[in-house]
């Protein structure tokens, strides 16, 4: 389960103003659920949860099993929403360090090393990648609706040619995930006979993690996609009504604080494996709300690490920001040992778990920041699991859509992204 605690924001809310504001939040929620707002043609991310396609989920699982049996390395080629969601879930549910071949032999099935490609334009990265892949069995999943987005298209050209020169069965090893009909990747799939999956036309990139675009790489990494998907289905049902709706509380508080001059939100976590989830959240909120010179700037922080860098600013800097903590309650118990010399003075912690210390760091931070004038909320997961991550995905997708409507913008388009592309292609001399 996931829970939202906004008690450390309540002191910053004027009760009368909040009561006057609340009907607007409910109205934005109805606009979303009735499909009557701007961008309603992009609500496929809700439709796929309302009408689950178990046959598709099974097909994705079968293809993932093929990849796991075939590949030492899976290259996931994509940028933005075409890779951030998959990376978020895979990193959250994978070990912090690689599993040895001996350990993998003891598991029911092996999983390939997952490498993300095509999300930047570093020549050094590409050169080193191709050297690293030598001697390995490689599969690739290419995710792009158009097939011509520059960064992944360049990466795919390199990877495709490298694979064709080394494998006789490259046509089985490259899986395309793209638009139902149009786009360059469909042309490749037709010519090369690549297997393909479809991203529904009514699902935009940053909302696509629970479509084949995210689910195939996630399944190839050994994650239970049924639990992930149906966790989101459960959250969709729980957030159907406005009464007691956590996503509306989150969206409403964010917009209220923006109107009070809090223009930056920091999503902070205390678990390294949640870094990818934070990056996915950042793209989701930045591209959905940042329009018409308005919106909250979404920033991310990894605590307690960043408390030793930007912590000073958070505590004593400009009071134009607020925080949302993303917390996992149930963590592995690793007990701090005693030390006879106690030279570090830490024997008072002997017998306590690192998780308990981390919990104190979180509570101390949230209290100190509230007292320092930083409103903060906490979204907690009782355990880091597929189901809870599915719930978390839908929670944020619902909240950001409501937030966009509160701002008066279309949450499902990203016209600003096209501006840099136009200037870049002009400089490159694209015909």
Query: Which positions are catalytic?
Result: 287, 308, 421
Scan for tokens 């920041």, then name that residue: 369
Q: Are 414 and 257 in contact (CB under 8 A)?
A: no
What is residue 301's three-state secondary structure?
strand
Query: Which tokens in the block code for residue 424?
Result: 């870049």
Q: Which of 353, 357, 264, 269 is nearest to 305 (CA)?
A: 269
- For residue 62, give the H/E element and its range: helix 54-70
Burial state string for 261-288 with b = 16 or more CB within 10 A and e = fewer than 16: ebeebbbbbbbebbbbbbbbbbbbbbbb
CA-wise closest residue to 149 among 212, 82, 200, 93: 82
- By the 10 Å C-beta count (0-12 exposed, 13-18 middle, 19+ buried), 97 is classed as exposed
Task: Please report, for residues 135, 305, 316, the alpha-carbon distance to residue 91 in angstroms, rounded to integers and kept in the order given.
Answer: 25, 18, 33
DSSP-derived pairing of the beta strands 113-117 and 138-143: unpaired
Only one residue has tokens 């499909």, namely 35
Q: Are 283 and 81 in contact (CB under 8 A)?
A: yes
Cβ neighbours of residue 13 closer than 8 Å, sequence gap 6 or more = 253, 256
Q: Are 281 and 430 in contact (CB under 8 A)?
A: no
**Vertex 298, ends 148 and 17: CA angle to 5°?**
135
Closest to 221 measured CA to CA, from 392, 332, 394, 71: 71
């Amino acid at each position: 389960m996931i829970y939202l605690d906004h008690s450390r924001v309540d002191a910053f809310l004027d009760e009368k103003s909040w009561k006057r504001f609340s009907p607007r939040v409910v109205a934005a929620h109805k606009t979303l659920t009735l499909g009557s707002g701007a961008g309603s043609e992009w609500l496929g991310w809700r439709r796929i949860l309302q009408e689950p396609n178990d046959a598709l989920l099974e097909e994705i699982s079968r293809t993932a099993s093929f990849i796991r049996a075939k590949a030492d390395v899976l290259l996931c080629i994509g940028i933005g929403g075409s890779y951030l969601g998959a990376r978020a879930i895979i990193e959250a549910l994978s070990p912090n360090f690689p599993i040895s071949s001996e350990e993998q032999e003891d598991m029911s099935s092996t999983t390939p090393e997952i490498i993300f490609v095509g999300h930047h334009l570093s020549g050094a990265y590409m050169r080193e990648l191709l050297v690293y892949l030598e001697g390995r069995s490689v599969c690739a999943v290419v995710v792009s609706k158009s097939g011509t987005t520059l960064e992944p298209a360049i990466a795919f050209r390199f990877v495709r040619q490298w694979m064709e020169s080394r494998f006789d069965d490259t046509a089985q090893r490259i899986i395309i995930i793209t638009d139902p009909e149009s786009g360059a990747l469909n042309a490749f799939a037709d010519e090369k006979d690549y297997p393909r999956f479809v991203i529904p036309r009514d699902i935009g990139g940053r909302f696509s993690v629970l479509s084949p675009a995210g689910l195939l790489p996630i399944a190839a990494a050994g994650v239970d996609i049924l639990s992930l998907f149906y966790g989101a289905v459960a959250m969709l049902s729980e957030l159907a009504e406005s009464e007691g709706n956590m996503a509306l509380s989150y969206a409403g508080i964010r917009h209220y604080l923006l109107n009070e001059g809090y223009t930056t939100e920091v999503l902070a976590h205390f678990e390294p494996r949640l870094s990818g989830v934070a990056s996915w959240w950042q793209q989701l909120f930045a591209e959905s709300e940042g329009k018409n010179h308005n919106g909250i700037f979404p920033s991310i922080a990894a605590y307690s690490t960043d408390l030793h860098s930007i912590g000073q600013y958070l505590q004593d800097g400009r009071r134009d920001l607020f925080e949302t903590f993303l917390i996992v309650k149930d963590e592995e118990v690793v007990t701090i040992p005693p030390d006879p010399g106690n030279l570090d003075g830490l024997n008072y912690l002997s017998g306590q778990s690192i998780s308990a210390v981390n919990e104190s760091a979180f509570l101390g931070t949230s209290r100190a920041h509230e007292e320092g004038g930083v409103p903060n909320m906490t979204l907690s997961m009782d355990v880091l699991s597929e189901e809870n991550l599915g719930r978390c995905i839908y929670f944020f997708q619902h909240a950001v859509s409501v937030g966009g409507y509160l701002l008066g913008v279309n949450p499902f388009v990203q016209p600003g992204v096209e501006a840099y592309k136009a200037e870049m292609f002009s400089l490159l001399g694209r015909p």
